[in-house]
Amino acid sequence: MFTLVKLYEFPNNIHSLLELGVPIAFFVLQERLNIMNMDMLAMFFGGGGGFMGYFIFVIPTIILAMWAQSKVSSAYNKYVRVPSRGGITGAEAAAAVMRNAGISDVKIVQVRGHLTDHYDPIGKKLALSEENYRGTSLAALGVAAHEAGHAVQHKVGYAALKVRMALVPITNISTRVLPIVMIGSFFLIGGALSVTLLKLGILCYVVLTVFQLITLPVEFDASARAKKELVSLGILGSDEMVGVSRTLNAAALTYVAAFVSSLSYLLYLLSMFGGRND
């Protein structure tokens, strides 16, 4: 998925995003919950992690998230102003990529929002935000072709995409349990129940981290397919691909940041658990 929800903007329906397999949704959930509550977890759970662990594991990921978001915003805002010479729209580009792969059962639809583009493998829909559906810019074509790349992955049975889709149910459960763990930490100080919550939090982050890890090859491959198809189909010239590459490469940073965030919070909770056993 190419959905680039602002990292500190909580989605209206996190579970609908999960059903679509939108990885950045997890990063949004983590950032909102953890920035507010992780220091409280350190206080209530105690242990070796504590506030020092927070600064070691968590603060750097917040900085990385802000940097990744600024990079993708900068790249997209720059190349959305650069029109392609061919004048083809994002919707047309996505249709061409899928048609070349023999895909005829995926509907291209326009959706509201900024960079809310995604491919729905369950509903067989490729959703493009208005600026990318109707836009003819290098950024619009890159994003649209990237989403079409996911449709191609689905058709050919790309292994990493299959694994990610299989992980969606348990990941969805983890994101539902995690807020309960956070809220429970406010009321349970010490004792067996607090240890159980900590273990549950660790388990949730193991699932999220694995999901984010498998997301990386899925996204990188979709971008690679997009770049190749845009040139081979004559939609863009090779000299125009600089803008596309910079836009997609910047977007890839958000997925890397999401993985690093999940891993960092996991290590943080593990350090807290280890400290309790010292």
**Which residue, among 251, 256, 202, 190, has the nearest Cα to 223 in the 3D structure?**
251
For residue 49, CA distances in Å to 143, 180, 195 come to: 40, 21, 14
Strand partners, 110: 128
Contact yes or no for 234/20 (Cβ under 8 A)? no
Q: Supply angle C-alpha 30, 35, 37, rounded to 5.
A: 90
The one catalytic residue in 147, 219, 229, 240 is: 147
Q: Which residues of 104-125 are buried (b: 16+ CB within 10 A; e: fewer)?
A: eebebeeeeeebbbbbbbeeeb
- Tokens at residue 58, please? 């968590």
State how far the Cα of 170 lies from the Cα of 52, in Å rounded to an integer.
31
State how far the Cα of 260 lies from the Cα of 263, in Å rounded to an integer.
5
Q: Supply angle C-alpha 209, 29, 23, rounded to 5.
A: 50
Reply yes or no on whether 19 is catalytic: no
Q: What is the maximum span of the chain, computed from C-alpha positions, in angstroms?
A: 66
- Tokens at residue 138, please? 């290098």
State how far the Cα of 99 lies from the Cα of 116, in Å rounded to an integer.
23
State how far the Cα of 204 lies from the Cα of 208, in Å rounded to an integer.
6
Exposed / middle / buried, residue 262 (Cβ in 10 Å: 0-12, 13-18, 19+)? buried
For residue 54, which amino acid is it? Y
Query: Which residues does the annotation mark as catalytic?
Result: 147
